A and B are shown apart, each in its own frame.
Chain A
Amino acid sequence: MADIKAPVERPLSPHLFIYKPMLTMLMSIAHRITGLGLYFGTLLLAWWLLAAATGPSAYAGIGTFMSSFFGRVILFGYTWALMHHMLGGIRHLMWDNGRGFGAREREWLAIASLVGSISLTVIIWLLGYLFAGGSR
C-alpha cells in the first residue's frame, strides 16, 4: 500500500476537432444545440401563456416584442429549431429500432432532416403570413 505509483501517461482518444466535419456529425451536434435552444425557448412559451392569462395589456406587450424584427428572428429560429429537433428525434427513434444505420441511409437521413426542417419552417411561416388572424 505504501508505494502508490504515479498514473501512467496514456494516450487519449482523438476528440471531436480531430475529425473532418461530416454532415451526420454536424446533424448530431445540431440536434443537441437545437434541443438546448428549445429548452430556454420554453421561457417564451411561458411568457406568452402567462401574458394571455394576465390581460390585454400584458398580451399586447409580448405581441409588440414578437412582431418586432428581433422578435421575428427569434421566432423564426425557434420554429426551425423545433422542426429540426423533431425530425432529428424521429431519426433517433428509427435508429432505436435498429433501422437506418447503413452508410447511404445515414447520409440520406442527415440531408433529409436538414432539408425537411428548412422546408417545414418556410411552410409554417408562409401559413402564418397567409392565415394570420384568420377571420377576426
Chain B
Amino acid sequence: MAVGRMSTPLSRVRGLGTARSGTEAFWRQRLTAVANVPLTIAFVFIVISLLGRNHAAVVQILGAPLIAVILMLFILSITAHMRIGMQVIIEDYVHDEGTKLVLIMANTFFAVAVAFACAFALLMLSFKV
C-alpha cells in the first residue's frame, strides 16, 4: 500500500488520504436528519396551536422557554441539514470550479443567515417582549 509508506502514523490512522476529510458531512446529515424528525413534528404542532391567535398570544407562546428551546433546536438542526443538502446538490450539478466555490460559499452564508435571523427573533421573543 503506497499510502502507508509515505504517510505519518497519524495520517494512516485517520485513513483519509489526500482528501483530508472523510464522512463528516455524511454523518452530520444523518445526525441532523434523526433530530429533524421529532423537532419537525413538534414544530408542526406549535404552528397549529398558533394559527389565528393575535400577536400578544403568539409572543407569549413563542417566548415560553420550552417552546423557544424546541424551536431553536429545530432551526439549528434544519439549517445545518439543509446546508449539507444544498452543497450536495451544488456539487452534483455545478462543474465549473469557480461557480461551484461561489455557490458553496453563498450556501453557507444563506444557511447561517437564516439560522441567526430565526435564533435572534426567538431570543427577542424570549427576553425583550
Contacts and interface: CB of A to CB of B under 8 A. Distances in A.
Interface size class, chain B: 35 or more
B55 A131 contact: no
B94 interface: no
Contact of B30 (A49, A52, A56, A93): A93
**Interface residues of A, dominant DSSP:** helix
Given A124-B44, A132-B51, A52 B121 contact: yes
Contacts of A92: 33
Given A52-B55, A53-B129, A60-B55, A82 B114 contact: no
Contacts, number: 89
Given A46-B114, A49-B118, A56 B48 contact: no
Interface stretch (A3-11, A19-27, A33-41, A101-109): A33-41
B58 A59 contact: yes
Interface of A: 32, 35-36, 38-39, 42-43, 45-46, 49-50, 52-53, 55-56, 59-60, 79, 82, 86, 89-90, 92-93, 96, 124, 127-128, 131-134, 136
24 contacts: A35-B89, A38-B82, A39-B82, A42-B82, A42-B118, A45-B114, A49-B62, A49-B71, A49-B122, A50-B117, A50-B120, A52-B55, A52-B121, A53-B124, A53-B125, A55-B55, A86-B36, A89-B37, A93-B33, A124-B48, A131-B51, A133-B51, A136-B53, A136-B57
Q: Which 9 A-B pairs have the closest CB atoms?
A: A133-B52, A49-B121, A132-B52, A53-B124, A53-B121, A56-B55, A132-B51, A46-B117, A59-B55
